[in-house]
Amino acid sequence: MIYSVYEFFTTDEIERGWLISLLSDYGFEGFEETNESLKAYASGKQADEPLVKKILTDNDFKHIEYTASKLENKNWNEEWEKNFEPVVVNNRVAIRAPFHSQFHTEFEIIIEPKMSFGTGHHATTASVIELMLRENFVNKTVLDFGSGTGVLAILAEKLKADSIVAIDNEEWAYKNCLENIERNHCIKITAISGDDSYLFNSKFDIILANINRNVILQNISKWKELLNKNGILIVSGILLSDEVDITNLAQNIGLSLKSKLKNNGWLAITFQHP
């Protein structure tokens, strides 16, 4: 498969954040941020240039210059290996690739992301990890909604959760998650490929959703129904400008705000079921 690669040149972290949020809704499946640019990846015909131009124009980003290129699937690992450096979150969680040297932090997670989202580099993932470290996962049931690489599900097991469901509707993310589950010797994670119909009649103590604004707004009522009493919902992928919309909806359906974390223009929030 051939992937379209767009590199948007902007040093503004907020602009890069907006682009990630917008492009995620149009079939873009992976992102790389540097101090000078954002690379966005999409497969097949989902990312034709007229669409990209329209996204920029409709959202007042016409000033952002970009380049477009193609990347063969077989070269993807080589591409990210050139740039992927280990990440340490809160001095407790190290996330590294298989080819990196071992860390001696409290928790170490080995991730080979391929096209899946979730290496800890982006503020959204790092913030969820920080909020997870504040909660008690011991013997809890956990749902990782939109699991990507499986990094959050893997951390949940390392935090001694009793059982974890990791679900993603992208087949490549599901397969990547399975690989990373095995790579980290996890035995309590059930990876699911497909929609959330599998979750019917399920209940969880903790739900993790590192997605984007639109998916959160569409699903937060459903997640609330999946939570046990006193259950925890941690959501991320939220721009600071979306905070009011998310928190108002959450509180209107009966969730209470427990904590929040701001990081480079992004917001992660912990809600609690009453």
Q: Read off the pLDDT of residues 87-97 as tens digits, 9 standing for 90 and up.
A: 899 999 999 88
3-state SS class at 129: helix
Model pLDDT, residue 211: 85
Q: Locate 174 and state its tokens.
A: 């599901």
d(CA 235, CA 176): 22
Q: 9 lies in a domain?
A: yes
Do 123 and 76 fall within a single domain?
Answer: no
Per-residue tokens: 261: 């974390």
| Bridge partner list, 209 | 235
Is 109 inside a domain boundary? no
> Is residue 137 located within the same domain as residue 179?
yes
- Per-residue pLDDT at 45: 62
Domain-located, residue 64: yes
Q: What is the CATH number of the domain that holds 9?
A: 3.30.70.260
| Contact criterion met (CB below 8 Å) for 173 and 148 | yes
Concatenating the DSSP letter of every residue in 148-200 gives TTSHHHHHHHHTT-SEEEEEES-HHHHHHHHHHHHHTT--SEEEEES-GGGGT
- Is residue 128 domain-shared with residue 171, that is, in the same domain? yes
Q: Provide the domain limits for residue 15.
A: 2-80
Tell me the whole-structure pTM to 2 decimals: 0.76
Residues 39, 120, single domain; the answer is: no
Tokens, residue 274 = 């009453």
Which pLDDT score is estimated for 186? Answer: 97
Question: Within a domain: residue 37?
Answer: yes
In a domain, 93, yes or no: no
Check which CATH number belongs to the domain holding 173 and give it. 3.40.50.150
Q: What is the pLDDT of residue 83?
A: 63
Mean pLDDT by 10 residues, the chain (274 residues): 84 84 78 84 75 89 90 56 76 88 91 60 85 97 93 97 93 88 96 82 94 88 95 92 93 96 89 94
On whether residue 250 sits in a domain, the answer given is: yes
Contact residues for 11 (Cβ-Cβ < 8 A; gap 6+): 35, 36
Strand stretches in the chain, DSSP E: 2-9, 28-33, 37-43, 65-72, 87-89, 93-96, 107-110, 141-145, 163-168, 189-193, 204-210, 227-239, 256-263, 266-272
Predicted local confidence at residue 183, as pLDDT? 95
When divided into structural domains, the chain yields a total of 2
Q: Give the residue among 119, 109, 78, 118 at the shortest CA–CA distance from 183.
A: 109
- The C-alpha atoms of residue 247 and residue 252 are separated, in whole angstroms, by 8
